[in-house]
């Protein structure tokens, strides 16, 4: 019998509903096989919690060092996109009101139909991101590079979430060797087995934080 372990993330206290969330994922491309597995685990878990494919935006950067900047820019881009989409929503509301007005005065014509076109492409949400998951895999080499990048990325991502108010999930593996990284991506090749894909935990964390933050920003506890 294998030893029981106290480590790891227990199941969430409640089943969260991600169906109305817009989630961004930004991943580094260094250590590609590991990143691919982590990305798959993350997306699978997001979908399992109801997040729709069209509301998951995936972007990539070369390495983990680029993650804090890209994470911040994506959060800001989501907010800008949302603000730009707002006028067309106001316009459609106005059109709806004029439709009500017109029921008493004149029949609706073709011109109104064209004004009511939904500019929200493919039904995907255009609101700001509810959470963002930053994925990378750092593997220690023979120089101090690893230590410096780990430190910078960790602090950078923490700063981004505190500065922007958008939850940032820390999806960065900091492994001392290849096997540690492979096992944490669920594709281990050692006798201990394949390990656990931590991307799944990151998908869960994103929906949980997005749900809780929705209340917190409204002053609801």
CB of 141 to ligand RBF, least distance (A): 6
Q: Which stretch binds ligand RBF (CB under 6 A): 4-12, 45-53, 134-142, 193-201?
A: 134-142
Q: Please tell me whether residue 65 binds ligand RBF under the rule CB under 6 A.
A: yes
What letter does residue 16 receive in the DSSP assignment? -
What are the residues whose beta carbons fall under 8 Å from the beta carbon of 208, sequence distance 6 or more? 12, 16
142 within 8 A of 37, measured Cβ to Cβ: no
3-state secondary structure of 196: coil
User: Which of 26, 138, 150, 182 is in the footprint of ligand RBF by CB under 6 A?
Assistant: 138
Token readout for 85 is 């989409």
CA 102 distance to own-chain centroid = 43
User: Which of 8, 107, 123, 141 is in the footprint of ligand RBF by CB under 6 A?
Assistant: 141
Q: Please tell me whether residue 206 binds ligand RBF under the rule CB under 6 A.
A: no
CB of 29 to ligand RBF, least distance (A): 8
- Nearest to 29, CA basis, from 52, 54, 58: 58
| Catalytic positions, written as ranges | 145
- State which residue, 64 or 211, has the beta carbon closest to ligand RBF: 64
Residue that has been written with the tokens 């750092």 in this structure: 138
Q: Please tell me whether residue 129 binds ligand RBF under the rule CB under 6 A.
A: no
Cβ count within 10 A of residue 122: 6
> Segment 142-181, which members bind ligand RBF (CB under 6 A)?
145, 149
Binding site for ligand RBF (CB under 6 A): 28, 30-31, 62-66, 136-139, 141, 145, 149
């Amino acid at each position: 019998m294998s030893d029981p372990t106290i480590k790891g993330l227990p199941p969430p206290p409640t089943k969260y509903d991600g169906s109305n969330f817009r989630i961004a994922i930004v991943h580094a491309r260094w250590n590609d096989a590991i990143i691919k597995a982590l990305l798959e685990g993350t997306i699978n878990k997001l979908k399992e919690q109801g997040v729709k494919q069209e509301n998951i935006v995936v972007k990539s950067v070369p390495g983990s060092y680029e993650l804090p900047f890209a994470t911040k820019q994506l959060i800001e881009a989501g907010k800008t996109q949302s603000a730009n989409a707002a006028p067309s929503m106001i316009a459609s509301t106005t059109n709806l009101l004029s439709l009500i007005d017109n029921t008493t005065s004149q029949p609706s014509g073709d011109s109104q139909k064209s004004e009511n076109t939904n500019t929200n492409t493919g039904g995907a949400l255009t609101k700001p991101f509810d959470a963002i998951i930053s994925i990378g895999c750092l593997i220690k080499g023979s120089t101090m590079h690893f230590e410096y990048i780990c430190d910078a990325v960790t602090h950078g991502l923490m700063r981004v979430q505190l500065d922007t108010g958008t939850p940032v999930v820390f999806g960065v593996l900091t492994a001392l060797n290849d096997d540690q990284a492979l096992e944490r991506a669920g594709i281990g090749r050692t006798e201990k087995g394949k390990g656990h894909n931590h991307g799944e935990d990151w998908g869960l964390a994103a929906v949980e934080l997005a749900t809780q933050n929705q209340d917190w920003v409204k002053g609801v506890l």
